[in-house]
Amino acid sequence: MTTARFPNQSLPPLRIGLIFGFLLMVMGGVVARLIYLQVVQGETLAARAQQQQRRYTPPALARYPITDRRETVVALDRPVFTLFAHPIQFKVARPAIARDLAPLLRQSPEQLVAKFSTYPTGVPLAYDIDEDTAAKIRALNYDGLELNQAWQRIYPQQELMAGIVGYVDRDHQGQAGIEFSQNQFLQVPHSRQLLSINALGEWLPALAPADPRALSHGYHVRLTIDSRLQQTARQALQRQLRKFNAKRGTVIVLDVKTGALRALVSEPSYDPNHYYRADPALFRNWAVSDLYEPGSTFKPINTAIALELNAITPDTVLPDEGRIFVGGWPIQNSDYSQRGGRGALRIAEVLAYSSNVAMVHMMSRIPARHYYRYLHRLGLTETVGSDLPFETAAQLKPPEQFINYPIEPATAAFGQGFSLTPLHLAQLLAAIANGGKMVTPHVIDGLYDENGQLQKRLEHPPPRRVFSQRTSQAVIKMLGEVVRFGTGKPAHIPGYRLGGKTGTAQKAIGGTYSNLRITSFFAVFPLEQPQYVILAVVDEPKGDDAYGSTVAIPIVRAVTESLITIEGIPPSHPQELRRPAAPASVSQ
């Protein structure tokens, strides 16, 4: 049998050499590349890796406490903790650790065991843990558990100050109120911290500073708001909202000389401690952000304009026919169907009886372009410029429309056809009350140290004159007559004098006037030397008897009485407070 012979399968030496040389070249290239990356590009690549793994970032910054003007705490930080697990470091069985943590974290052991299985390190288990619970967790003395301190903002006044202060989110950043608009002012100064992150973009807690936040050192931000007055205003507003089943309301108390807001209430409100449960629409204070047509409460401002432009004097007499036509459009008084016209009226009577027709006659004495120019000068195309967020600029018709269509200045004469915020109206009324100067409303007094010394204050524009002292005094006197014998009678407080003006305006929806109303009243107090403007606006009160005199005056009166008590304001007419002495008995 012949054996099959196969050719020799060994490779010739030349081929082996070529293969070996090729492998050496490949390995040499790899080594050269490694040397290049490690030596030549090492520093660059290391820096790039660190850049990807680290961030310069401010940690959850501590914020200054906020107090009212009497040092009542409105907002403050408290320490809270985040619990991280590092399962790779556990020396006790995971179910045992989960069983001990579950009641402290209000989670089930099964939930915790599942979390332990997600990553070997840096597993977040719970946030916002209070100090007592954190102490109990430390007492367990388990390896692989880490507590990181942060800050939680709390608001002891709850709904009372929400429209002013706002709230901060989980990252300790302001989202509404002055927490948002003055976010930087409220943060305690700090240095940027270099923190590391893992591949998932999460902070590595073990590498974070133990307490990266600076302390406030007793400093606090003081508001101009008085919590006592704020509470009175809120309660009075809530009563009227319930009584008239109204949609919403606001109360403003403004120091006419400084622009400091002593109270600023908007209802409905929300609890900033639980902001996530609230309607987001409530985060915007409607007294600052929502426009409305002021109606008759703007008549004193128009009267001041007419006096300034010499269109009238305090002794001018104007006709009130009850109903007139302007450019084919009918304009009438609110009580025309009951009373008809009132005949000739003095300027004070025009305000006291709130005559729309007489106001049209008054403002028709001013060329429309001059009237428009003055409204523009009063800021009716601008914002107020307060320290509160989400301000909305007032809206005035375009100049060509206002000037060329007589109905525009005619309706503006009694506060319709343009819109502004309640805070803007309060600012304009303060200019009448303080002698003619426009001040900037604000709620922040300044930053104070632990000894009560002012350290820093926000800058506001200096007051600017918009009316003369003479005009201011004349209008204030007329406002006193409104309360003495006009629509403001229910606002009278025995022993004291105040001026004011009611407003009951149709509410415009989509450019068309509806049957819905906005009722309002403002007071200037004390009348002899005005210090405050108190404004109440109630949106969409229900009922046939819902007017400024019935809805808004009771609110302003309650707030004024509270001011008298809080500020210790003595009566200007004490004789009104004395009761007649009982007749002496005659002995027989």
Residues forming the active site: 296
CA-only gyration radius of the chain, Å: 36
The two three-digit tokens of residue 177, written as one number: 């109120």
- CA neighbor of 322 nearest in space, from 349, 341, 345: 341
Which pairs with CB-CB distance under 8 Å and at least 24 residues apart come from 67-70? 67/220, 67/221, 67/222, 67/223, 68/161, 68/222, 68/223, 68/225, 68/226, 68/227, 68/230, 69/222, 69/223, 69/224, 69/225, 69/226, 69/262, 69/445, 70/226, 70/227, 70/228
Residue 66: count other Cβ atoms within 10 Å of its Cβ: 27
- CA neighbor of 515 nearest in space, from 550, 548, 541, 549: 541
Q: How far apart are CA 291 and CA 269, in angstroms?
A: 18
- CA neighbor of 297 nearest in space, from 534, 545, 557, 561: 534
Q: Which amino acid is at 402?
A: F
Q: Count Cα atoms within 13 angstroms, Cβ side, for 58.
A: 15
CA torsion 368-374-379-380 (nearest 10°) is: -20
Q: 301 with 375: CB under 8 angstroms?
A: no
- CA neighbor of 481 nearest in space, from 346, 340, 282, 327: 346
The two three-digit tokens of residue 519, written as one number: 């009722």
For the chain, the residue count is 588
Peptide bond preceding 526 in cis form (omega within 30 of 0): yes
| E strand residue ranges, 68-166 | 73-85, 123-129, 145-154
Q: Which residue has the tokens 């009372």?
A: 160
535 strand-pairing partners: 252, 522
- CA neighbor of 362 nearest in space, from 426, 431, 304, 294: 304
Burial letters 329-364, b for 16+ CB under 10 A, else e: eebbbbebeeeebbeebbbbbbbbbbbbbbbbbbbb
Q: Exposed (0-12), middle (13-18) or buried (19+): which is 177, by Cβ within 10 Å?
A: buried
Q: 216 with 62: CB under 8 angstroms?
A: yes
Beta-carbon contacts of residue 137 (< 8 Å; ≥ 6 apart) = 83, 101, 104, 129, 145, 147
> Which helix (H) or strand (E) is 468 found in, with range?
none
> Which helix (H) or strand (E) is 238 found in, with range?
helix 227-243
